[in-house]
């Protein structure tokens, strides 16, 4: 396909407690409805990031004619911002984002037949969504996502031991002193990210753009997650989906990178407890194999969707 159809829109989203009308911004690549291929709905990470760094998944449309739907989750990007809800853990719940996904599926009239790909936090959200056995969910891709935050904390602490000692010392010192905005701490975090988040140099602009949205409006990230990967203080601190994974009926593909911050220990519960599951690891990737090994990623996902 030389050119593909692209359209953008907004779905009204009624959120009790928001205090104002809310909208979810979305982008559709390809044709809806499609005569053969169910659409793939893509859930971005963060929490509180935006769709840009996943825009490359439109390659699935260009190469294989799979309709791809991207959207900015409520709270950031081109969707409704709610900075007045910063710190409100009763408002920013997993259920809010599950409701938003249902609302978008209904708005696009695709709730009878679709697949979902969630990356990082998006995969956590996708697993939560799938455990509820939603109508119409065909296939599920969980990419670079933890099955529990306790495992994720354990993994990041273990991976940080591979950093040069000066960075380990900086992480420990500033976390203990609650001085995580110190440049020394930032340098240590960047060293960790270069190993375990994205190994490309330079970092793709699409990833930079998503991070910029989070810096400009940290409401969702700081409330649900916390200051950073080593200091989880938000409402996700005790999140765990493991005991509900047996409820996932959708055939599932797991994806992570060899150097991923969501390493094998963190993802293994998905493999152990989801009834119909397969797992592919990308040997030259960290946390974003769709950017680090794009061509292989598209082939792997397409083979799974068509199978």
10 Å CB burial of residue 231 (0-12, 13-18, 19+) is middle
- Per the residue annotation, which of 51, 174, 287, 290 is the catalytic one? 287
10 Å CB burial of residue 153 (0-12, 13-18, 19+) is middle
Is 88 tagged catalytic? Answer: no
Q: Is 4 left (phi over 0), alpha (psi -120 to 50) or beta?
A: beta
- Per the residue annotation, which of 58, 79, 260, 285 is the catalytic one? 260
Closest CA to 147 of 73, 8, 242: 242
Closest CA to 13 of 82, 114, 68: 82
Is 81 tagged catalytic? Answer: no
Please answer whether residues 251 and 227 qualify as being in contact, where contact means their C-beta atoms are separated by less than 8 angstroms.
no
Is 287 tagged catalytic? Answer: yes
Closest CA to 257 of 273, 229, 279, 237: 279
- Per the residue annotation, which of 120, 127, 222, 235 is the catalytic one? 120
- DSSP string covering 44-73: --TTT--SGGGGGGGHHHHHH---EEEEPP
Bridge partners (DSSP) listed for residue 255:
143, 280
Catalytic residues: 120, 260, 287
């Amino acid at each position: 396909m030389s050119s593909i159809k692209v359209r953008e829109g907004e779905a009204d989203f009624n959120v009790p407690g928001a205090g104002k009308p809310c909208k979810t911004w979305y982008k559709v690549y390809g044709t809806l409805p499609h005569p053969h291929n169910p659409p793939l709905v893509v859930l971005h990470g963060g929490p509180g990031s935006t769709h840009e760094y996943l825009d490359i998944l439109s390659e699935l449309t260009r190469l294989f004619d799979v309709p791809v739907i991207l959207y900015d989750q409520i709270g950031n990007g081109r969707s409704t911002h709610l900075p007045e809800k910063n710190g409100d853990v009763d408002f920013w719940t997993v259920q809010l984002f599950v409701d938003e996904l249902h609302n978008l599926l209904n708005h696009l009239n695709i709730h009878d037949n679709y697949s979902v790909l969630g990356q990082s936090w998006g995969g956590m959200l996708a697993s939560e969504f799938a455990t509820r056995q939603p109508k119409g969910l065909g296939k599920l891709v969980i990419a670079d996502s933890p099955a529990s935050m306790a495992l994720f904390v354990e993994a990041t602490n273990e991976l940080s031991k591979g950093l040069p000692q000066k960075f380990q010392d900086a992480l420990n010192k500033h976390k203990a002193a609650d001085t995580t905005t110190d440049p020394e701490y930032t340098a240590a975090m960047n060293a960790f990210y270069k190993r375990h988040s994205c190994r490309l140099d330079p970092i793709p602009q699409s990833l930079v753009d998503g991070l910029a949205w989070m810096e400009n409006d940290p409401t969702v990230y700081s409330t649900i997650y916390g200051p950073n990967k080593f200091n989880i203080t938000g409402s996700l601190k005790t999140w765990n989906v493991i005991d509900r994974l047996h409820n996932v009926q959708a055939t599932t593909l797991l994806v992570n990178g060899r150097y991923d911050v969501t390493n094998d220990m963190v993802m293994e519960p998905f493999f152990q407890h989801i009834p119909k599951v397969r797992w592919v690891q990308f040997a030259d990737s960290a946390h974003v194999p769709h950017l680090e090994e794009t061509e292989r990623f598209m082939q792997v996902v397409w083979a799974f969707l068509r199978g």
